[in-house]
Structure 1
Amino acid sequence: MAERIGIIMNGVTGRMGLNQHLVRSILQLRAEGGVLLSDGRRLMPDPILVGRNPQKLEAISRQHGGLRWSTDLDACLANPEDAIYFDSGLTGMRETGVLRAIEHGKHVYCEKPLSTTADSAARLAAAADAAEVRHGVVQDKLFLPGIRKLRRLVNSGYFGRILSIRGEFGYWVFEGDWGLPAQRPSWNYRKEEDGGIILDMFAHWRYVLDHTFAPVEAVSCLGATHIPTRVDEAGKTYDCTADDAAYGTFLLKGGIIAQFNSSWTTRVYRDELLTIHVDGTEASAIAGLRECRVQHRVNTPRPVWNPDIANPISFRDSWTDVPDNMEFGNAFKVQWEMYLKAVAEGKPFPHDFWDGARGVQLAELALQSWEEKRWMQVPPIAPIKAAH
């Protein structure tokens, strides 16, 4: 019989908290009979849904078989039967909720960005360390099939010396007019509500670069608010005060140069919403969310620049797919399994609050770089974990 572990899930009325964390992770783990531990035991997650809207909570509970729910976070934190506090609510409210959970001795797991400032994120990490609770931050991109294949190539030495990395992320988020609702909530475009693509996405780029290639040592960034007004959920036009695009360059340890374009104002002409192109002395690769393709030095064509004739080379033909060679589960679910195992078995969790703080730090430095029009060095917050 599986052992129960109670999880306080704060913020599940939001899109990410509901779809990725509750439905596709925790409820899926329950449907599979729980998490298998290294000693053969099974751990069964038992969530309680927490939020401010009782109607939404009750509806979600009813839809998924009568899950526990509450609007009283203090009462939930005081319940010793629930060992974990998970937060996917508003970033600006996260520090308060997580500190309260730590004070009650809860293990803590959070969406990224961990907080709105690097100082705040470091305070959370230090508090969790002092309380000796397991702490973790969501770093879902590391568990996507395409990125996992890319890391497999890096670890094998396939590229030789890595020279550069180019990332393209984004899509066109509808402005909310013409009768077409936006795909993202309006707060994403309000700086006063902690919106902005730099705070949202640079935390991702930090852990992808740190854990797949090499630690980030410096950043230069130019942000933009390309669309000045949008229409909110109530049909009202509002001024956009946060960045909707960012053009970042990163210097990694060992002299690797990485460039990432992040945009909610671009129309997609690539295979996936995220692509990462890596060039090395021996080979290159391009990875998306699921696929990864490579071209080795021996298969590289020899183009010659001649604009007076039609291009004679079909460049994509000399790239080959990296095989799966394994089953890939939902990225959020895979990391939830890792975290629950770490809690149950008392083992270190690699993607902890210090990792989350580094992501917030990079976003903060990128915003400062944009404002001051200069390169920013990235000082250490805590020892960088080795790429794995």
Structure 2
Amino acid sequence: MSRGSGRGSRVPQVHRNRTLVLNGNNSTTSINTPQGVNNDENAKINGQASTTGSAWVSKTDRHLQIINTSIYEKESQLRTKAIEETRQQKLRERGERDKKRFTKQLQRSANNAYSSSTSKSINGTIVDIEGIAFRVTKNGDKLIKVPSDPHPPSATPKTWSSGGILFFRSKNGNLYRAGIVTAHRRKIGLQKIQEPCRAFTTTGSCNKGPKCRYIHDPSKVAVCKKFLKGSCPSGDKCDLSHELTPERTPTCLHFAKGNCSKPNCQYPHVRVSPSALVCRAFGIYGYCEKGTSCTERHVHECPDFSNTGTCDTKGCKLLHRHKASVMRTNTAHNNQSGEDESSDISSDDGGEIGDEDVDSDDLEEFLGDEDGDVDCDIPMQQDYVQLS
């Protein structure tokens, strides 16, 4: 040691960090190794990092990592599966806790008729809810109205809570535990409906994104009306189609009347009877797969109103065009039947059963079959569960 080095001098620390340099042009990967590192360890790292043709991805999980893509994909799949299993386990545990809380609530309501430590099932217990008698089934997952109860399904409260456990009304007036409804809602939400999304097809976008249950097909969107009139300021960035194909372009009205004088008319020249019905697919979605082979009229107007004279869609934004022939037919039909038009209008009272009620007994899939019987509360219905 030199004379100039005092007692306070420090020996330079050997850094353990290594720098991995990836070169996309060749398969050589260099690693800068500081002095004092074992050569065998360095050779091992070089062998692992110099895989020919391998791709890498960076991942930040408590610290920055560089992982081979094949390994990363396997880890991602396993991680996703583990997360889903954990979620399912938490739902099962929460369901058991809710059942225990509901059981204790029933015990307190019965003035401690039996001890809370007993294993006696609560199935068959009669519960009075706003003057309506319900029978507990599925260990508290479902409350069924007793057959002798005279109240209509609409008399059942839409929501009911007991001991912090929330229940939702079904269309038959029964009550389901909220956890069961949520599980059913999540499962149904993942199932795609084989129908085009009306919002996506007519506007080119859908606010629900991947969560939308309907089909989003960018090749089957409606034609851009601005482009149809001459020009579209959005250009190639327009979400609607700029391809004037017969599937999405309205038929030429002048050609149907026999007096189209345009040599290069952009509207399809299809011979369809002026009295033909309005194509429902084209009227609602702005796209009809039949194209020129369709025997109905391709026009931008409400098919229900044009074909029948009535439209039951609340807030319908399509064109409602009055046609004398349809109006005469409806008038003759009403005079013959002698019935008032308002007799067919259903009640909109708040107490009536509506779409916000649980409309499914494939909820039994989540309830289990403790009783061994088949529940037929709302058979053959697969409607979406919507919570109010």
Larger fraction in strand = 1
- Structure-1-length-normalised TM-score: 0.20
- Structure-2-length-normalised TM-score: 0.20
